[in-house]
Amino acid sequence: MTEWNVVPEPTLRELAEQLTTLTWPLDASTAAALAEARGWSLMYSNEDAIRWTSSLPVNKAMASATVHDGIVSRLRVTVSDSLPEETRESTGFLRDVFVDQVAMLTEMLGEPTERQPGRFSSVRWVLANGSALEATMVGTGCGWTVTSPEFVQIEADLGRR
């Protein structure tokens, strides 16, 4: 059996707490300072995006921010190992990781606003501050995305959510 990394629950709880209590609007320099405080290393930065290597114990420890006019619209963090291919074993592992993370987030945040089951699963919480946290499982990994209140509203206005 292949061994994959799992982020310890206390680390995930701390990350979730930080992501769900961000003060919006979040400018790019504040996002960079928060990433640095978490021990993330800058990989790339331009006016539209920032990428870091996160300090999470996963094989492709990545985090990124989408930036518009100096303001962050989305932050994404990889929260599981990224697996090289989809196999029965890897899909089972990721499903277990995803289910455990969703259970932890539900305990912290309450019932989700939206669930999309399937091969590309996602669970979303719209938070009291108007932002949204989404946990996703794609074919080869799990990630979390926090979206700014402004972009949550834009998605709603466009009928995308």
What is the reported pTM?
Answer: 0.92
78 touches 141 (CB < 8 A): yes
Residue 2 lies in a domain: no
By CB neighbour count within 10 A (0-12 exposed, 13-18 middle, 19+ buried), where does 13 fall? Answer: middle
Residue 66 lies in a domain: yes
Residue 27 lies in a domain: yes
Report the side by side order of strands in the sheet with 62-68.
41-45, 49-53, 62-68, 71-78, 141-147, 132-138, 121-126, 114-116
Residue 14 lies in a domain: yes
Residue 64 lies in a domain: yes
104: amino acid identity, one letter: M
Number of domains in the chain: 1
Quick: pLDDT tens for 54-96.
Answer: 988 888 889 999 999 999 999 999 999 887 777 788 788 889 9
Residue 130 lies in a domain: yes
Beta-bridge partners for 124: 114, 134
First-to-final CA distance of the chain: 39
Q: What is the CA radius of gyration of the chain?
A: 15
The pairing of beta strand 121-126 with beta strand 114-116: antiparallel
Whether 1 shows a pLDDT value over 60: the answer reads no
The residue range of the domain holding 76 is: 9-157
Residue 93 lies in a domain: yes
Quick: pLDDT tens for 88-147.
Answer: 887 888 899 999 999 999 999 999 999 999 888 999 999 999 999 999 998 788 999 999
Residue 4 lies in a domain: no
Beta strands in 25-116 (DSSP E): 41-45, 49-53, 62-68, 71-78, 114-116
